[in-house]
Amino acid sequence: MKKNIVLFVLFVLPIVAYLFFASGVNSFTTLPVITPKVADFGNWKSLNGKKVSLDKKITVLGFSGSNILENRGNYFNLNEKIYKRYNGFEDLQFVILCPLGTEKEAQKIVDALSPFTDVKNWNFVFASNQEIQQFYDQLHLKGKLNQNLGTSNVYIVDKERNLRGRKDKDEYKEGYDTFHPSELSNEMLDDFKIILYEYRAALKKNHNATKQL
pLDDT tens digits along 57-90: 999 999 999 999 999 999 999 999 999 999 888 8
* pLDDT of residue 140 exceeding 70: yes
Q: For the ranges 35-49, 141-155, 168-182, 196-210, which has the lowest average pLDDT?
A: 196-210
* pLDDT of residue 163 exceeding 70: yes
* pLDDT of residue 3 exceeding 90: no
| Mean pLDDT across the chain | 87
Output the pLDDT for position 207.
61
Instruction: Tell me how far apart the alpha carbons of residues 32 and 169 are, in angstroms, rounded to a whole number.
Output: 12
CATH topology of domain 33-211: Glutaredoxin (3.40.30)
Instruction: Tell me how far apart the alpha carbons of residues 145 and 165 are, in angstroms, rounded to a whole number.
Output: 18
Beta bridge partners of 163: 35, 157
Torsion, Cα 193 196 198 202, to 10 degrees, reads -160
Contact 96, 125 (CB under 8 A): yes
Q: Which of 75, 32, 82 is nearest to 189 (CA)?
A: 82
Could you tell me which residues come within 8 angstroms of residue 55 by beta carbon, excluding any fewer than 6 positions away?
40, 159, 161
Output the pLDDT for position 199.
83
Could you tell me which residues come within 8 angstroms of residue 40 by beta carbon, excluding any fewer than 6 positions away?
53, 54, 55, 161
Could you tell me which residues come within 8 angstroms of residue 199 by beta carbon, excluding any fewer than 6 positions away?
58, 91, 159, 213
Instruction: Tell me how far apart the alpha carbons of residues 186 and 61 are, in angstroms, rounded to a whole number.
Output: 18
Instruction: Tell me how far apart the alpha carbons of residues 189 and 177 are, in angstroms, rounded to a whole number.
Output: 12
**Tally: H helices and E strands in the chain:** 8, 8
Strands (DSSP E) found in the chain: 33-35, 45-46, 58-64, 92-99, 122-127, 150-157, 163-164, 176-177
Q: Would you kindly state where each structural domain of the chain is located, as residue ranges?
A: 33-211
Q: Identify the band that residue 16 occupies on the pLDDT scale cut at 50, 70 and 90.
A: very low
Q: What percent of the chain has pLDDT above 70?
A: 83
Of residues 133 and 213, the one with the higher pLDDT is 133
